[in-house]
Chain A
Amino acid sequence: MSIGFLNPALLWGLLAAAIPLAIHLFFRRRPRPTPFPAIDFILRARRETQRRLRIRKVLLFTARTLLLAAAALAIARPRAERPGEAAAAVVEGPKATAIVLDASGSMRYRLGGRALFERARADALGALAALGPDEPATAVVCGAETPAAEPPGFDRAAVRRLLEQAEAWAGHADLTACVGAAVRALASPAAQARLGKRVVVATDLAASAWRLDVPPPVIEGPEGKILPEVTVQDAARGAPLPNLAVVGLDAEPDPAAGPRGYRVTAAVSSAGGEARKDVPLGLSAGAGPGAKTAIRAFVDLPSGGTVRKTLSYAFPQGGPAVLQVALPEDALPMDDARAVALVVPREVRALVVDGAPSPVRYRDEAYFVESALASAASPVRPKLVDADAFPGEDLSRYDVVLLLNVRSVGAKAGELERFVENGGGLFLSLGDEVDPEAYDRELGKLLPMPLHVVKTAASPADGAARAARFADVAWDHPALSIFVGEAREGLLGTRTYRYVLAKPGPKGAPATVLASFDDGAPALVEARRGRGRVLLFTSSADRDWTDWPIRTSFLPAMQRFAGFLAGGLEERREPALVVGAQRTIRLEPGERLAGLVDPGGRERGPAELERMGLREGERGGLVITPREPGLWQVKVTAQGKGERLEPRLAFAVSPDPRESDTRRLEPKELTAYFGGETHAKVEGDAQAAGAGRTIPLWSVLLVLALAAFFLEGLLIS
């Protein structure tokens, strides 16, 4: 029987037992000299009580020391371990041995102040040291790389070096595949056939690392298939591995939270522990030292379950941004936080040109459009002018121009073309004021499709039955992708009575029909002109030709159109990658990569990045495979400028959620998988293996500490 500790690092607490002695030696109060006449009586009293007092003092000192020592020992959770009888039938004689070291993310779990990986490495090195001189060995470090193993040999130094230099990475590892690779190495002709075969696996027994639904690895020998002897070293020594983790993070625009509001949904899981209430969850915005905690929330976690927590956050300004959700740090810190990099829509400056103003507001051509763009949650800041004032406007001050039933732009057409060519957005809606032929002449270079004639599908008096409806909507288009589920009804239910038919455009000026009417006539047509975009709605923006302005879909559609035309909707970030996945960094012309700042704040220069595998991507950009979860920031140098962190390029790397699931495999399951107790055994957790017993001693120590406490009180009184 041996004594083990669940938290051996806490044994430092035993030093507290020396406190009474230290106080006795160093903090003893100096006696105050006092003249006293009846000193004879004191001497006599001391003589009479000296023995009793000395015993009392010794008892008091012992009780205090015992109290502290027992409490410190109890915290270290000691337990008597009675080793079970060897479960596996051990083949006599030397064996070729393959050692598999689990280097997956869950091995970063810290138990008793020490990472499981360090314990597992010590187990693996111990197994290597225990080999006889006639036993060849090899090792497989089961981490990021595809598992491969050299045939077993007698170069112990090389195997030891491999094990000593191994590091646990943050991603997933497939232990089943690694054991398979180890068994294949043992089966190689280089491994002496006459020797027994043994696999030693040093792992934390996390269930997510194993695939027990595939056949167990076997060695094809001259006498047929044989199962190798498998010894699993449990680095956790049977202890449960409770872990809280942020396993998912999603940020979606939330108009209810304002123009730059986001609804952040975090998935928080609890593995291998008890249900927890009021676990703090913080949402911070920003990267690096400038990050600020925006929201502090609490979540209740069921045992072994996952909950979703939704938080709303509005960014004060647009542009590239980072959100991070974090739990309090626990034994596995790598999954306690998760970040997401996003681009917050910038404010869109829109010029709305009203082609048919009216003193009656709801009859005004621009009334509905302006109301939609100027609503509270809109990122668009519209300015309304009538067609007469339009020529006087400086278009360079706007991102988007909306021409609503404008009869003619006159001499402004040239400026409008340059505006679009240089990246501006143009929205065109038609109406009674528009003459299709005159438009084709005036705005021919800008129109996505030439206009033809006005078609009247029905008059409002005819009712809805004959009115045209939207059909063939490009729902995946950025401007229309917000319409999902029932929201699409708001668009499809629109009734349009009149619209302008469009002609196919000339070759070389491609246009995309985002929606057409049910007779096939284009309703919404998008085209790129230079660096800008043009969107044509072939009906009116007021209620003269269609009832769309009073439909629920009109407001979000107009805001999305403005955002799309201003180029804001396509400024999307790639979703956060799982650790180990490739990331492409796309630099602007003139920019040069100066380095990456990893989630720990350490800057990695180009030389180190090359060692990390930085290379040119096949489709342009620089490709790198980050191996640490968290937010990576990109440092660039541009012409004439020094090094700077480019927020646009920052990207988030997520930990693999499989590694957050620290639920452990039942040792019996594992031994059964490898052929039963005759072929496999789990060491380090005799109780779990069902072959031995662990007796917790901490409760006894606590009782001892309690007894010492009461004895101390009794002696003092």
Chain B
Amino acid sequence: MADAKRPLLDPAVLAKLGTLKLRVRAVTEGVLSGLHKSPHHGQSVEFAEHKEYAPGDEIRHIDWKAYGKFDKYYVKRFEQETNLRAYLVVDASGSMGYRGDPDRLSKLEYASALAASLGYLLVRQQDAAGLVLVQGHVAGAIPPRASASHLTPVVEALEAARPQGETRLDAAVDWIIENAPRRASVVVFSDLLDPDERIVKKLAQLGRRKHEVTIFHVLDPAELEFPFDDPTLFLSMEDARQVEAHGRDVRKGYLEVLGRWLEETKRTAAEADVDYALCRTDRPLDEVLVPFLARRERSAA
């Protein structure tokens, strides 16, 4: 639905913008105009470990409480880090290329716009944003960095992504486990049409490793409403399967199966403390981004 006050956040309008960069700009400007001013925390220091005092150490870092307990000088060691390290996991499988209406963004385009906008907003807040592109396997990865110049390759990688291959999000999970030893925020943009039905649980494994997981479940309205009335030959977008069915005949059954799946996904995500948001590609992007950013703001506070 077009929003008269924020036309640039309308997917139909964004679809007409040629490049992802333009879309990101439009989205972020729209989102920022709708947000309160974000408090800038700057760099933070985090306690890492105690070390026995040695000459040359900063005297001000001596932990006097530890001296009281152990009667030895211990110096507190700190680690310098950014506010947040975020991995933007974008599913670029074949199914993400679907669009139910030629005037709409495809699911991948929508997810890319969301991911790139989020990356921009994170970097703007001194957070680091990285990208993991999944196409059956991890097709590309850009480690998180907090510099503004870092966004360019992220956007370019997203723009260059073409939907293909199977949905294999477990490859992204494995990659993050391997490459992100420290606590990070993992934001997944996918339609979750993964052959592995336990993919949400797998994503939740990241939570057990102190990562904060957010799933943006991107679906086209046609997938949610199944507006087919005539006899149709449905072709799979990830393999060679095809099925002939009369849209009117299977609609009810399809919506039932879909409803059950969405409920299951939501429930599993809630049980695993995974943040979950269902994104229809016909909804304005700020409806997705603003609540997410607001949640982050609250948790940061």
Q: In the assembly, what is the distance between CA of A579 and CA of B230, in Å?
A: 66
Stretch from A25-33, A225-233, A387-395 at the B interface: A25-33
- Known contacts A35-B98, A35-B235, A39-B236; is A46 also within 8 Å of B193 by CB? no
Q: Is the CB of B250 within 8 A of A29?
A: no
B233 at the interface (CB under 8 A from A): yes
Q: Is A43 an interface residue (CB 8 A)?
A: yes
Name the B residues within 8 Å of A46 (CB-CB).
243, 245, 250, 253
Q: Are B243 and A53 in contact (CB under 8 A)?
A: no
Q: Is A42 an interface residue (CB 8 A)?
A: yes
Neighbour of A48 across the interface among B223, B238, B241, B253, CB < 8 A: B253
Contact indicator B234/A42 (Cβ below 8 Å): yes
Binds A, one of B37-45, B78-86, B256-264: B256-264
A43 nearest in chain B by CB position: B243
- Indicate the member of B223, B244, B245 with the most A CB atoms within 10 Å: B245
Residue among B94, B193, B228, B249 making CB contact with A34, cutoff 8 Å? B228
Bound together, the chains give a CA A615 to CA B107 distance in angstroms of 101
B280 to chain A minimum Cβ distance, whole angstroms, is 14
With A48-B253, A48-B257, A49-B252 in contact, do A37 and B233 touch (Cβ < 8 Å)? no
Which bracket fits the contact residues of B? 20 to 34
**Given contacts A42-B243, A45-B257, A36 and B250 within 8 Å (CB-CB):** no
A45 to B235, CA, bound (A): 15
A682 to B141: give the CA distance in the assembly, Å: 101
B170 to chain A: which residues have CB within 8 Å? none
User: Measured between alpha carbons, how far is A38 from B98 in the docked complex, in Å?
Assistant: 10
| Contacting residues, chain B, for A48 (C-beta < 8 A) | 253, 256-257
Q: Contacts A45-B257, A53-B249 given: A38-B193 contact, CB under 8 Å?
A: yes
Q: CB of A12 within 8 A of chain B?
A: no
Whether A36 pairs with B231 at a CB distance below 8 angstroms is no
Of B191, B233, B237, which is within 8 A of A32 by CB? B233
Which residues of the other chain, A, contact B292 by a CB distance below 8 angstroms?
none
Q: Are A49 and B250 in touch, CB under 8 angstroms?
A: yes
Given contacts A34-B235, A53-B249, contact A29 B230 (CB under 8 A): yes
Chain B interface main SS type:
mixed
Task: Pick the contact of B234: A28, A39, A49, A53 (CB < 8 A).
Answer: A39
Cβ-defined contact, B98 with A36, below 8 A: yes
Q: Would you give the 0/1 interface string for B89-123, flagging 1 where the beta carbon is closer than 8 Å to chain A?
A: 00000111010000000010000000000000000
Cβ-defined contact, A37 with B98, below 8 A: yes
Instruction: Give which listed residue, B107, B235, B256, contacts A36 with CB less than 8 A.
Output: B235
State the Cβ distance, A242 to closest chain B Cβ, in Å.
49
Whether A31 lies near B223 (C-beta < 8 A) is: no
Q: A45-B254, A45-B257 are in contact. Are A37 and B223 (CB under 8 A)?
A: yes
CA distance A37 to B254 in the complex (A): 13
- Residues of chain A within 8 A (CB-CB) of B95 are 37-38
The interface residues of chain B lying within 8 Å CB-to-CB of A28 are 231
Using Cβ atoms and an 8 Å threshold, which residues of chain A touch B253? 44-46, 48-49
CB–CB B257/A31 < 8 A: no
Contact of A37 among B191, B230, B250, B261 (CB under 8 A): B191
Shortest beta-carbon distance from B167 to chain A in Å:
9
Q: Which has the most chain B C-beta neighbours within 10 Å: A28, A29, A39, A49?
A: A39
Chain B residue at minimum C-beta to C-beta distance from A716: B248
Q: How far is the CB of B241 from chain A (nearest CB, A)?
A: 6
Q: Given A45-B250, A45-B257 in contact, is the A31-B244 Cβ separation under 8 Å?
A: yes
Tell me the smallest distance from the CB of A52 to a CB of chain B, in Å: 9
Name the residue of chain B whose CB is nearest to the CB of A39: B236
- Contact present for A29 and B231 (CB under 8 Å): yes
**Residue of B with least CB distance to A53:** B249
B256: nearest chain-A partner, CB-CB: A45
Q: How far is the CA of A44 from the CA of B261 in the complex (A)?
A: 11
Contact of B258 among A31, A36, A41 (CB under 8 A): A41
State A33–B235 Cα separation when bound (angstroms).
Answer: 7
In contact, A42 and B245 (Cβ under 8 angstroms): yes
Residue of A32, A45, A49, A53 near B232 (CB, 8 A) is: A32
Residue pair B235, A40 in contact (C-beta under 8 Å): no
Q: Which residues of A contact B257 (CB under 8 A)?
A: 41, 44-45, 48
Q: A34-B232, A38-B95, A41-B258 are in contact. List 7 more A-B contacts (CB 8 A).
A: A34-B234, A37-B220, A42-B245, A42-B254, A43-B241, A48-B256, A53-B249
What would 29 A/B residue contacts be, using CB atoms closer than 8 Å? A32-B232, A33-B233, A33-B242, A34-B228, A34-B232, A34-B233, A34-B234, A34-B235, A35-B235, A35-B237, A36-B98, A37-B96, A37-B191, A37-B193, A37-B236, A37-B237, A39-B234, A39-B236, A40-B193, A41-B258, A42-B245, A43-B241, A44-B253, A44-B257, A45-B252, A45-B257, A48-B253, A48-B257, A49-B250
Instruction: List the 4 closest A-B pairs by CB distance, nearest first.
Output: A45-B253, A37-B95, A49-B253, A31-B231
